[in-house]
Chain A
């Protein structure tokens, strides 16, 4: 017997111009549950929660909160009434102290006759921080002292107050380290125990299964279905979990993903030929790093966000000034991006929109840019040859666009990522260094990309795959190199028995 819902959403519709974001959505949130909301980009999960939390208004439909009609004017209003939400982006105020951030919007309660009683405010703020187990954060410090993750946690402290009855976590965990996530999980479990309602939005399947008590799937603005507690917690063994995940994915995408999501084979063989070598490389805080990458090998790099794997990736492409050692390919030293590209290395940056693509340029231009040296004959770049090359890539990657003359900033994240892949295949690069290549990409597209990467290995390309998603590394890499504190901490070979838990231990 279910308790009555804290929040009821009825027949909610939301349109952005011609785009339908939500279509007749009916949704209930109950006390004491941690409801996972999953769906691809554009499925509506963020839209519906942001409307509930007062960020925007629906086009039509109604909401009820504690039985009464709910029409929040703003997020601050909603928070005061008990519905708070934290997002993925930074939402703290630089230049103010931690205490000021925690009590932002509520400073009046600490002021008499216009003068703020800083001491009292700091004391109260510290109490709250301690209650969350964040004793290492000092309320009197200026918030700029703390990194992104700590600032996120401070945001949590701000949002979760006595009155909070519904707490929405929108894709926040990607920004947090293992420690930070643990703190967040504790918080939401505690809230659930207290009879509050938590809505948890994430792309990470494993996380969802671990933390949530029930799960609702959205697709294209409609509710597809809810997986209740029994079913969710009922999947105990690994294979049952796999099946459940497949089912969820099916609901999210609307078609059979099929068994092949990651690589299905366990063939870790590769050529003996060295495609790229790091010879005693010292760059930044990384010292004396040596590694050989072979043709036909997929080398995965994993670790916490600041472990040095990113630097290695950039160094491999010549983007970093080395303080020692060298990066070599085919006997040539790679010390800038021009030599790197000339020798056939490609690099897909994590900062896709600022480093990997020119957003204002069209698809054809982006794909062709590295290849102009090759395309140019006696200064002439034949537009037909170029078009042929571009079309080949567009077909190959099934990039969804009306024409390759379309600007890249009109594409979805997944298609953008495809374009950044296409750049290097058009150039016939033999070595590819990719940094978080499937970040922010929908499941369907992710699958396609994994397929491409697997094909690349088969055709003899050498790949360095830097990723923050352990399941991705386990699923795709021949060998996983874990880095910790700027040095190699451990290595794992691809195997069907490899578990995330094995790896995590060496990361922390």
Chain B
């Protein structure tokens, strides 16, 4: 006990301006990172970063990532992750094409996909708890199952990819609609994350599940709700993803699972979740990630170097944000 006293006496330097800086160090770094990207790439791309065409494609790329990252906040703040997002998106795109081509009804397509996404969310949230497994196992399982489904669905069609024929999906590719969607989802997520039980509970489950359970929170129920919230965002993102090309194939969506993780982490979200999870992690992170890819390409860096740079930055950020508790990897 004596030693505890010694340590405690030294810990409390959170005074004044520098205290404020220290406690918000991750937020500051992530914003700085974004600003740095913007400045560097404006210069190296000779201003091409800001021409009207580039802005429109930035919006188009950011839209899907942003909606997914915002939804993923709930899952990541609990210290979990979901590797099945990518293949889910692929399957949803394909299903939507089938439904659109046979009925022409966007509403039906969206509702179908939404229901599926909610089911997957419930599966991810509940089954792991019931079976006593880390949640990554259920999401891996879903990843394999959906991957197989995606492959088979395309095989059955007899071609390499299928397209939307019966419906004008390009209206969802309009910049204005995309911005509207992002803002709307952003507002809802911000509200949920900061002013409702969902946000409070997911953060405390991530920080200390035992204590949260001892405060009368049904942790299983809220895990399911969190994953389902993510599922809603996945369904919405699927619509916008499909609208980009109007087609889907065997590999559609596959990169998103890891990309989302990169986005959120670049925004300063600790992998173990907890109290320091913030909505701005998703927002700033997504912007930084997309800007990074776009800016590097515009500056003429070749694709292999871009991969390396992304990997290095990812590693650096993980090292910076992992918490000492030893719970570095998501459960």
User: Does A165 sit within 8 A of B, measured CB to CB?
Assistant: no
Asked if A64 is at the interface of the complex by the 8 Å CB criterion, the answer is no
Cβ < 8 Å to B, chain A residues 16-54: 16-19, 21, 41-42, 45-47, 50
Q: Please tell me which stretch of A66-74, A251-259, A375-383, A390-398 contacts chain B, meaning at least 4 of its Cβ atoms lie within 8 angstroms of it.
A: A375-383
Q: Which of A19, A349, A370, A406 contacts B9 (CB 8 A)?
A: A19
Bitwise, B185-206 to A at CB < 8 A (1) or not (0) is 0000000100111101101100
Out of B1, B195, B215, which one reaches A370, CB within 8 Å? B215
Q: Which chain A positions have C-beta within 8 A of B9?
A: 16, 19, 21, 42
In this complex, the member of B2, B204, B208 whose beta carbon has the largest number of chain A beta carbons within 10 angstroms is B2
Cβ of A201 < 8 Å from any Cβ of B? yes
Assess A42 versus B5: contact at CB under 8 Å? Given A360-B276, A365-B200, A369-B204: yes
B211 touches A (CB below 8 Å): yes
* A356 near B214: Cβ-Cβ < 8 Å: yes
Known pairs A406-B14, A423-B215; A88 contacts B2 (CB<8 A):
yes
Most buried by A among B8, B197, B276: B8
In the bound complex, what is the Cα–Cα distance between A466 and B274 (angstroms)?
31
Q: Are A372 and B208 neighbours in the complex by a CB distance under 8 Å?
A: no
Q: Is A134 an interface residue (CB 8 A)?
A: no
Could you say which of B3, B8, B276 contacts A89, with CB atoms under 8 Å apart? B3
> In the complex, what distance in Å separates the CA atom of A338 from the CA atom of B218?
7
| Count of interface residues, chain B, beta-carbon cutoff 8 Å | 36
Residues of A within 8 A of B218 (CB): 338
B300 within 8 A of A: no
- Give the residue name and chain of the B residue nearest to A440 (CB): B1
Q: Cβ of B204 and Cβ of A361 under 8 Å apart?
A: yes
Instruction: Count A-B pairs with CB separation below 8 Å.
Output: 123
Contact of B5 among A18, A46, A379 (CB under 8 A): A46
Is there an interface contact between B200 and A381, defined as CB atoms closer than 8 Å?
Answer: yes
Bound complex: CA A16 to CA B8 (Å): 10
> A402 to B13, alpha carbons, bound, how many Å?
12
Asked whether A41 lies within 8 Å of B196 as measured between CB atoms, the reply is no
Measured between alpha carbons, how far is A201 from B1 in the docked complex, in Å? 11
Chain A proximity mask over B1-18: 1 for CB below 8 Å, otherwise 0: 111111011111110000
Let me know if B211 and A355 touch, CB within 8 A. yes
Complex CA distance for A365 and B199, rounded to whole angstroms:
12
A48 nearest CB neighbor, chain B only: B2
Shortest Cβ distance from residue A33 to the other chain B in the assembled complex, whole angstroms: 21
Majority secondary structure of chain A interface residues (helix, strand, loop or mixed): mixed
Q: How far is the CB of A57 from chain B (nearest CB, A)?
A: 13
Is A373's CB within 8 Å of the partner chain B? yes
B214–A337 CB distance below 8 A: yes
Is the C-beta of B212 less than 8 angstroms from some C-beta in chain A? yes
Top 3 A-B residue pairs of the complex, sorted by shortest distance between their CB atoms: A46-B2, A341-B216, A19-B9
Beyond A88-B1, A354-B208, A369-B217, list 5 extra A-B contacts (CB 8 Å): A341-B216, A358-B275, A359-B207, A365-B275, A373-B197
23 residue pairs of the A-B complex, CB under 8 angstroms, read A16-B9, A42-B5, A89-B3, A170-B2, A341-B216, A354-B211, A355-B214, A356-B214, A357-B208, A359-B207, A359-B208, A360-B274, A360-B276, A361-B203, A368-B200, A369-B217, A373-B197, A376-B196, A379-B196, A380-B196, A381-B195, A409-B11, A410-B14
Residues of A within 8 A of B (CB): 16-19, 21, 41-42, 45-47, 50, 87-89, 170-171, 201, 203, 317, 319, 337-338, 340-342, 347, 349, 354-362, 365, 368-370, 372-373, 376, 379-381, 383, 402, 406, 409-410, 412-413, 423, 440
